[in-house]
Amino acid sequence: MIDLYTWSTPNGRKLSILLEELGVEYRVHPVDIDNREQFAPDFGKISPNHKIPAIVDRETGIRMMESGAIMLYLADKYGRFGAEGAAQWELVEWLMWQMGGLGPILGQVHHFVKNNKGVSPYSENRYQTEARRLYAVLNMRLEHRDYVVGDGRGAYSIVDMAIFPWIARHDWQEIDLNETPALRDWYMRLVGRPAVQTGYHIPQRTTEIPLP
């Protein structure tokens, strides 16, 4: 049994999508970050950085924070959606790209463009410009392949699951997915997966998955 501590954010949705894809038993513990529940002392014992998501693996007693690390752990534990050989490092490479680049930059776009529009035109331009560059990088990566990692057409992995919830806020970022056709097609490929549709709405249904 996996205890998942999460909220309806891109980082939270990564884990619920993965757990749905794995088809393993898990229990959801909503952590309402709008009401600062992430700063509760008990949650701090699980996630010392007071960020969601976090898990407790009841089989092993392992407690983990940081979505990328948790995804690597679960892929290894259940032997699915990871990679082997050279593709393993390709997987780590693109997961770190999401963790260190795409997620933080899009988070800043959400802050300045979605939530505080007009407060700092400089910041809006800076982060939107970088966001569009990252979209272009991903679009180029997905040309002639179905998924981000792997040989040939690629293989569906935790990297796709990590990236998807951030791209699912393309409307917040004021980005038209039709400007990046390969990325758009990949996005729709994932939208069509039942586990993605279910995992996206955990711990609660807020909005439907936005379409291009």
What is the tens place of the pLDDT at every residue in 73-104? 999 999 999 999 889 999 999 999 999 999 99
Question: What per-residue confidence (pLDDT) applies to 115?
Answer: 95
CB 55 within 8 A of CB 3: yes
* pTM of the predicted protein model: 0.96
In this prediction, residues 48-62 reach a mean pLDDT of 97
- In the chain the domains, ranked by start, together with CATH numbers, are 2-78 (3.40.30.10), 86-193 (1.20.1050.10)
pLDDT for res 86: 86
List Cβ neighbours of 151 (8 Å cut-off, separation of 6 or more): 87
117 CB contacts (<8 Å, ≥6 apart)? 124
Instruction: Using alpha carbons, select from 145, 132, 136, 134 the residue that is nearest to residue 185.
Output: 145
3-state secondary structure (DSSP) of residue 88: helix
Residues 6 or more apart in contact with residue 100 via CB below 8 angstroms = none
Question: What is the average pLDDT value for the chain, to the nearest integer?
Answer: 97
Q: Percent of the chain having pLDDT more than 90?
A: 95
Please check whether residue 128 is in contact with residue 113, taking contact to mean a CB–CB distance below 8 angstroms: yes
